[in-house]
Structure 1
């Protein structure tokens, strides 16, 4: 491995040098020094520019946010509509059952968009407390259209939880219509893994605060006033927060519209090059994500991945679960959503395919 290894994975993404340098700075004590709470309030204010709603930051990788949202919103007897067309959409049902709720999975094939007719039928037939969905299904590279689903949920007064971990900061997310919107530091923000970022609506806070029984580490309620009361439920990850602060500064300096355009440009070029190589998208639906491209390479994903790493110092991800050997994923998100990196990646992929096809 060399210092110029290119990690074009769909998270964790490449961390810019300025972010790494910021993390090396000495930090105040996050439990007792007022200046740290002032810093935290400033950082959440910056994140609200991206989210547009009340934001809290938890000390834990992005999956913590998914579990915390359900643990904080769902109790015994609650019904949850888990809207799914992928691995992470299905996974919400596990968190619901762990919290004592009843999960009703409304699933569509992984290659297809949400089934709006089925979703509307479920909502009309049953009273649901919460609905969950995923914006970008990273394992398949699908970007789901949320607006029609959010509108249906609003019509039925259902609280919405959206996993936007792999899209937030890389493309527009309708955060103003989402009750709990979940993000993470290691994806489009291009900061190291370790932080969950989520926005919470007033309606969601009201339900969260109505519960009598709570979990501890996964409870969102104490975070609502943590910054103003200058008390965190547990010692925060101060160096990670410093890194995220610089990462968000880079995004805001570039401008959100420019960041989104850069991601879209990189995604289009990646798919153009893939087409030139005779590779098909997985899926071939008309809603590919601007942050990750999944390519069909039946039975060859791991072999291609090894060759790219060994011969070209480029790291890509294979598919997950049943797609592990059949899908290769290129992450053009965050700091890596740049044309020169896409071109280097696809040049190397073409060379490896040529060798394997001999």
Structure 2
């Protein structure tokens, strides 16, 4: 029977080494094909949801967990919409695109965003952060653990300690690090993750942990929103009521993806990511390529390589000639940085080698 003229055929051999969405294992895809219950009325589904929350506690820790129906950016917006009201002051700590982007959400919520930004090639500026906190009062502070546009893993623990000393609620975008490298979730008030990164499930779900201190603040805010309001999720599982119809098939996929992580063991998962990242960086050095921004703070989930003025051409050649999908930089780095994602299911040496062999051929 002929294919529909509008269908899109995907190569089974295509390797997608992007920093999310990541490769989805067969077990996750198969789980998502199971019959779908009505998540609003069938008690069995609520029992499943509570069980999934308990599994996620094995990755997050003891804080309350909520799973929202929407891609990871939903979590960033929901955290700010739920915590910030007009008159609140928010310290947006940044050294990259996503760190800076928190300020937009703050302004949308009517808060005052104070951006403490460092150049993209520099680490987060702890001294400047301390100066801001000493000079002014803040209700909330935001930052990013892994800035995927630059391949940087930020050292956030010293900053979290300073924020706690000043009784400032912390919001951390750990979307590209959670499940791939240790995240100090016990020190974070709202820690944001997403299904399509290190979990290796399809896009569509935000996962977040919320501390008691954050809940107290959330419950004091009058949020004129439904979809981005975190407050209803505090008792959703126990009361067997969701603020909107949940994404059943995506939740099934996340459940199996979480099982795979926990069965492998988080320590082994983290080691696998470190080994894949180190191997990728070694192979890049053999090709004479430099890391962006430097070798001091590379993420174990994504490697950014400097290829000035050629990144898009190399990206195209990798896809056209070798069936390997990579990402370029964002913004001003769109043609100067090539990004290789080795996160989740793709954090494996054989996949890194196939990618780097092809990159060597393209560069030659």
| TM-score band, normalised by shorter chain | over 0.9
Contact 1:72 / 1:214 at 8 angstroms: preserved in 2? no
1:165 aligns with 2:175: yes
Q: Distance in 1 between matches of 2:204 and 2:52?
A: 16
Q: Distance in 2 between matches of 1:159 and 1:214?
A: 21
- Aligned pairs for 1:61-72 (under 5 A) are 61-72=71-82
- 2:14 maps to 5
- 1:117 maps to 127
1:344 aligns with 2:354: yes
Q: CA RMSD in A?
A: 0.6
Q: Distance in 2 between matches of 1:221 and 1:2?
A: 43
- 2:291 maps to 281
- 1:77 maps to 87
Q: In the TM superposition, what is the alpha-carbon distance from 1:285 to its structure 2 partner?
A: 4.5
TM-superposition CA deviations, 1:228-251 (whole Å, max 9, x none)? 000000000000000000000000
- Aligned pairs for 1:307-326 (under 5 A) are 307-326=317-336
- 1:17 maps to 26
Partner of residue 200 from structure 2, selected from 178, 183, 190: 190
Q: Distance in 1 between matches of 2:338 and 2:93?
A: 25
Q: In the TM superposition, what is the alpha-carbon distance from 1:212 to its structure 2 partner?
A: 3.0
Partner of residue 256 from structure 2, selected from 246, 253, 260: 246
Partner of residue 26 from structure 1, selected from 35, 57, 81: 35
Q: Distance in 2 between matches of 1:313 and 1:191?
A: 21
> Are residues 213 and 265 of structure 1, via their aligned partners in 2, closer, same or farther at CA, if it must alter by over 3 Å?
closer
Q: Secondary structure at the match of 1:80?
A: strand
- TM-score normalized with structure 2 length: 0.97
Q: Distance in 2 between matches of 1:25 and 1:296?
A: 44
Q: Secondary structure at the match of 2:290?
A: coil
- 1:46 maps to 55
Q: Secondary structure at the match of 1:328?
A: strand
Select between 139-148 and 213-222 the one with higher mean Cα deviation.
Answer: 213-222
- 1:306 maps to 316
Partner of residue 221 from structure 1, selected from 215, 221, 231: 231
Q: Distance in 2 between matches of 1:106 and 1:262?
A: 34
Structure 1 unaligned residues grouped into runs of 5+: none
Q: For this pair of structures, how many residues does the alignment match? A: 354
- TM-score normalized with structure 1 length: 0.98
Q: In the TM superposition, what is the alpha-carbon distance from 1:214 to its structure 2 partner?
A: 3.3
Contact 1:70 / 1:95 at 8 angstroms: preserved in 2? yes
Q: Secondary structure at the match of 2:78?
A: helix
Q: Secondary structure at the match of 2:291?
A: coil
Q: Distance in 1 between matches of 2:43 and 2:123?
A: 48
Contact 2:223 / 2:229 at 8 angstroms: preserved in 1? no
Structure 2 unaligned residues grouped into runs of 5+: 1-9
